[in-house]
Amino acid sequence: MPIVLAIFIVIMCVRSLVNRSRYRKANINDRLIIDYARLFRKRCKRHNLLRDKVNYNEQIIYMYKQHLFRMSVDENVVCNVVDILHRAGFSKELISYEDDRMVRDILGL
């Protein structure tokens, strides 16, 4: 039994080191998406209906309607957040630092 526990601990440590290394090497777009994915996984634990939402648009709109943002925002800002996440996830162009900061402040990343 102690051997199995030791193997489990080693695997978890290696996984953590690999994730930290990937995060450190990632650009601003990838870091935002990594952090958003972590936030999304955490929010799914409490909000089961959020798991059914498959794209950024549906996820962000659900979070907006459930008041899961750190700050109160209007619908125009929600559209901007969705647009920034789409650009960060699917475009080769880097998003600006201001856009990154805005999304992080609104979502609480």
101 neighbors 80 (Cβ within 8 angstroms):
no
Does the residue 75 lie in any domain?
A: yes
**Could you count the other beta carbons within 10 Å of the beta carbon of residue 82?**
19
90: burial class by Cβ within 10 Å (0-12, 13-18, 19+)?
exposed
Does the residue 52 lie in any domain?
A: yes
Cα angle 102, 88, 68; round to 5 = 45
Does the residue 79 lie in any domain?
A: yes
Percent of the chain whose pLDDT exceeds 70: 100
What tens digit of pLDDT does each residue of 13-41 get? 998 898 888 888 888 999 999 999 998 98
Does residue 74 register a pLDDT over 90? Answer: no
User: What value does the mean pLDDT take over residues 72-101?
Assistant: 89
In Å, what is the CA distance from 95 to each residue of 55, 72, 85, 99? 19, 23, 9, 6
| pLDDT value of residue 76 | 86
Does the residue 47 lie in any domain?
A: yes
Does the residue 13 lie in any domain?
A: no
| pLDDT value of residue 64 | 87
Percent of the chain whose pLDDT exceeds 90: 26
Comparison of pLDDT for 98 and 20, the residue scoring more: 98
Does the residue 81 lie in any domain?
A: yes
Residue 61: which domain range? 27-107
Does residue 1 register a pLDDT over 80? Answer: no
Tokens standing for 6? 């030791």
CA 69 to chain centroid, in Å, comes to 13
- Number of structural domains (the chain) is 1
Does the residue 20 lie in any domain?
A: no
Does the residue 11 lie in any domain?
A: no
Tokens standing for 72? 């109160």
Comparison of pLDDT for 68 and 58, the residue scoring more: 58
